[in-house]
Chains A and B, each alone.
Chain A
């Protein structure tokens, strides 16, 4: 049996009809074509599915789509304002913190959540904030530098 849901994603209103077992991740990727949010492990161990739900970082692979009913979501697609990139996105590019890009949306949103709560984090706080986001390419050094750089510009 399908349930109707309404939610706000990146400032726009969406409606969907979902089975209870539909995860938020699958809703985003398969029903709404918002493929910037990625599936790495499907069990909360990699962070590539991270989105901001009512401003809080959560893992969409372990969230039912029904749980997002009447809620406010920010995905990676919602960060840039048209052509104007978010300072965190700029910093990732300028610092060279992106290789394959698979972890990047989750990393950037984790950083966004951190800087919203703590605009001037120290290195330990940055490491803690991204400790749930795995990267197989970069070794994290540039990612941390990028977030430090972004925290200086915001």
Chain B
């Protein structure tokens, strides 16, 4: 690694002060599982590193039954994966997190770091997008929050300005009965990012199988996690059925434009989007006890 100037602020305010002076000369260091690799490969040569891990009030998982979830940017993937709150109220997050890297990597990687790194084939961001998560961003001039739609701009690019730091992730309460899942296609079961990943959510209006809202977000097929509205509207306000699930998965496949690369050809990835989306939706249907054609009816 090329050498750098090292800062270790103890508060968010101190961090923002440093950033307003250093701006693009500095990179924030959280878990280091992405940044340090880039620095070792000399793809990034930051003049300064601001290590925020010693800031005490950035590691929390707070659930409020009226407003939802607030997660501090330094909450590690492992702490989220094993959190009783997450497993009870947002189990789809634990599902996605268990696909990431390895146990040791998950003890290091943070939710804030994962979002700011903005690798489009990561496992947590599509789930967070499906959950309508918002990113709270702080600077010395104040705070702002963005939806993840607004936050992710391109490969490894976010709306974060050079003098800003992501401090919190907010996930709204879902009042309807809902289920979500994340399916990942990868060569290995660990230490591998997705070839294609599908985060799917269904919110039910009632117990008759009427779907109030659906979310389908793909990873690995674009420059950011990709929300497929065209597939979501097929399920929205309709009674869920396997036929609709098949239709939505076809539309999801047609609506994305993945690149051919070392992980697979574009055609293969589009095929796999169809397979995984259908599988995810069928799984949700089974869990919710809806959509199955009953014999004799």
**Within residues 46 to 91 of chain A, which ones have a CB less than 8 A from any CB in chain B?**
47, 50, 56-59, 62-64, 66-67
User: Do B33 and A64 touch (CB < 8 A)?
Assistant: no
Whether A131 touches B40, Cβ cut-off 8 Å, given contacts A20-B49, A44-B105, A110-B103, is no
Please pick, from A20, A23, A57, the residue contacting B104 in the complex, using a CB distance under 8 A: A57
Of all chain A residues, which has the CB nearest B106?
A: A132
Of all chain A residues, which has the CB nearest B32?
A: A62
Whether A20 touches B4, Cβ cut-off 8 Å, given contacts A59-B108, A62-B32, A132-B190, is yes
User: Do A64 and B32 touch (CB < 8 A)?
Assistant: yes
A29 interface residue, CB < 8 Å from B? Answer: no
The CA of A143 and the CA of B70, in the complex, are separated in Å by 40
> How many of chain A's residues have a CB under 8 angstroms from any CB in B?
29
Please pick, from A3, A45, A57, A62, the residue contacting B103 in the complex, using a CB distance under 8 A: A57
A125 to chain B, nearest CB (A): 10
The CA of A35 and the CA of B278, in the complex, are separated in Å by 50
Whether A56 touches B33, Cβ cut-off 8 Å, given contacts A20-B4, A67-B53, A131-B190, is no
B25 interface residue, CB < 8 Å from A? Answer: no
Of all chain B residues, which has the CB nearest A109?
A: B104
User: Do B5 and A58 touch (CB < 8 A)?
Assistant: no
In this complex, the member of B32, B98, B103 whose beta carbon has the largest number of chain A beta carbons within 10 angstroms is B103
Contact bitstring A106-141, B, C-beta under 8 A = 1, else 0: 000010011000000000000011011100000000
In this complex, the member of A59, A113, A129 whose beta carbon has the largest number of chain B beta carbons within 10 angstroms is A59
In this complex, the member of B1, B37, B101, B102 whose beta carbon has the largest number of chain A beta carbons within 10 angstroms is B102
Residues of A within 8 A of B33 (CB): 44, 59, 62
Q: Which B residues contact A (CB, under 8 angstroms)? A: 1-6, 8, 29, 32-33, 36-37, 39-41, 49, 51, 53, 78, 98, 101-105, 107-108, 189-191
User: Do B32 and A131 touch (CB < 8 A)?
Assistant: no
Top-9 shortest CB links A-B: A132-B102, A131-B190, A20-B6, A21-B1, A57-B104, A62-B36, A56-B107, A43-B37, A21-B3
A100 interface residue, CB < 8 Å from B? Answer: no
User: Do A21 and B5 touch (CB < 8 A)?
Assistant: no
The CA of A1 and the CA of B4, in the complex, are separated in Å by 9
A31 interface residue, CB < 8 Å from B? Answer: no
The CA of A113 and the CA of B40, in the complex, are separated in Å by 27
The CA of A66 and the CA of B40, in the complex, are separated in Å by 16
Of all chain B residues, which has the CB nearest A117?
A: B82
The CA of A63 and the CA of B105, in the complex, are separated in Å by 11
Of all chain B residues, which has the CB nearest A59?
A: B104
Contacts A44-B105, A59-B33 supplied; 13 other A-B pairs, CB < 8 Å: A20-B5, A21-B4, A23-B36, A42-B40, A47-B104, A58-B104, A58-B108, A63-B36, A63-B108, A67-B51, A131-B189, A132-B103, A132-B104
A19 interface residue, CB < 8 Å from B? Answer: yes
The CA of A128 and the CA of B98, in the complex, are separated in Å by 9
Of all chain A residues, which has the CB nearest B191?
A: A45
User: Do A129 and B103 touch (CB < 8 A)?
Assistant: yes
Residues of B within 8 A of A64 (CB): 6, 29, 32, 36, 51
Whether A66 touches B6, Cβ cut-off 8 Å, given contacts A56-B107, A113-B103, A132-B103, is yes
Of all chain A residues, which has the CB nearest B37?
A: A43
The CA of A42 and the CA of B37, in the complex, are separated in Å by 8
Of all chain A residues, which has the CB nearest B53?
A: A67
Of all chain A residues, which has the CB nearest B6?
A: A20
Q: What are 29 A-to-B residue pairs whose CB atoms are below 8 Å?
A: A3-B6, A20-B3, A20-B4, A21-B4, A21-B39, A44-B101, A44-B105, A47-B102, A47-B104, A50-B104, A58-B104, A62-B32, A62-B33, A62-B36, A62-B108, A63-B32, A64-B29, A66-B8, A66-B51, A67-B32, A67-B51, A110-B103, A114-B103, A128-B98, A128-B103, A131-B191, A132-B104, A132-B105, A132-B191
